[in-house]
A and B are shown apart, each in its own frame.
Chain A
Amino acid sequence: MGESKNWYLICYDIRDPKRWRQVYKQLEGYGERLQFSIFRCRLTPREREKLRWQLEKILMQEDSLLIVGLCSQCVERVCACNRAGTWPMSEQNFKIF
């Protein structure tokens, strides 16, 4: 198994402000917001399915959700063909304040 993590781009379109707010809050716990209603998260398959489950509980039939898995090459290409800083990367797994 050896749980590897991958980047995911998560986009949504939600018709109701209440549900939108709930989804937004939930996603904030998993990753960073890149643009309005587009998040990027680095997740294990386990976390991905957990997130999906949590979101599906909130979402209704009329809402849409798109989860795009990105391989490491995809991420490199995202960095290559966009403005600098679109996909900020941190190398360390610690932060000092």
Chain B
Amino acid sequence: MPSPTPRLPRMALIAAILALVILVFAWVGGFLSPGRVGGGGLADALQAANGKVYPGFRRAHAKGLCVSGRFEANGAGAALSRASLFPAGSVPVIGRFSTGGGNPMAPDGRVVFHALGLRFVLPHGERWHMALDHTPIFIASTVADFVALQNAAIPDAKTGKPDPAKMKAFAASHPETQAFLDYMKTAPLPSSFANGTYYSIDAFRFVDAQGQSRLVRWQFEPETPFAALDKATLDKQPSDFLFDDLLARTKQAPLRWHMILVVANPGDRTDNATVRWTGPHRQIDAGTLILDHAATETQGDCRDYNYDPLILPKGVAASDDPILAARSAAYSASFRRRTKEGPRVDAVTSAHATGGGQ
């Protein structure tokens, strides 16, 4: 079709409009901001600190064991949140105990940092996922610090081990990380998964039936009496001693924890998971977690879930703690990667198959 005016300026206009759309997309997607860290960047940092990728396994807390049971609510938690977990009654729970680190074959004595993922199956399709640690505090207060910490832990190409000077330098400039390392060194560690307390770490916003909102942390306190781990003999312990201990204990009797809700006092830090809440607090015992069954990851039904701490029911929401969103993004990236790689047989199952277990 002949055109009355020259085509070139109009072609340029079309190109400019398309370029603008591409530019907006690139800007929103972070392609113009190399410093922006997403869930994938966090998973990359964890992989680098692990020294290698272990396909099919979580990028952190790679070694785990499945548990299941129920939560028996006593009704008291409804004073703080309208979440359907809290009215008196019982809901099914599955969970996963894990040790720290990204090596799924690591001996338990090397990574005595414990964690517990829980998945509460609530009415009307709702789920509440929790990712709890046996420390009341987290190791870093911001995403940038967490990435820098992982970078300081990258194994040296020659020695195959992290450079202790780098970690020392990081801790020296980050007192909250030093406080966490001191806690791990000085606080008595639980001798078993069964006698540890598991903390929410971050604060969450609880909303009650009247719409009133409060900031809350919580912890699962064991009925099993605390016993301290002998840190001097850790190297001599069998490779899977923590996991085998839990398998043996659940065969004997159900394990029980009380869910203790802790309401923030005015002045408590609710945006910083490295700061403990000290002094007296309003506490509510919301009910009992009863775990009566354990199985290896390969035989159980816990491995293929993401214990993303932001999968929350109505009545519970995120706080302004930046670590919370970062955990959610990082867990999702790890889940994306490992599910596509496909599951692998876990260390405890392998050990039992070769007669190494109890």
Partners in one complex: no
* Interface residues, chain A, with chain B CB atoms under 8 Å away: none
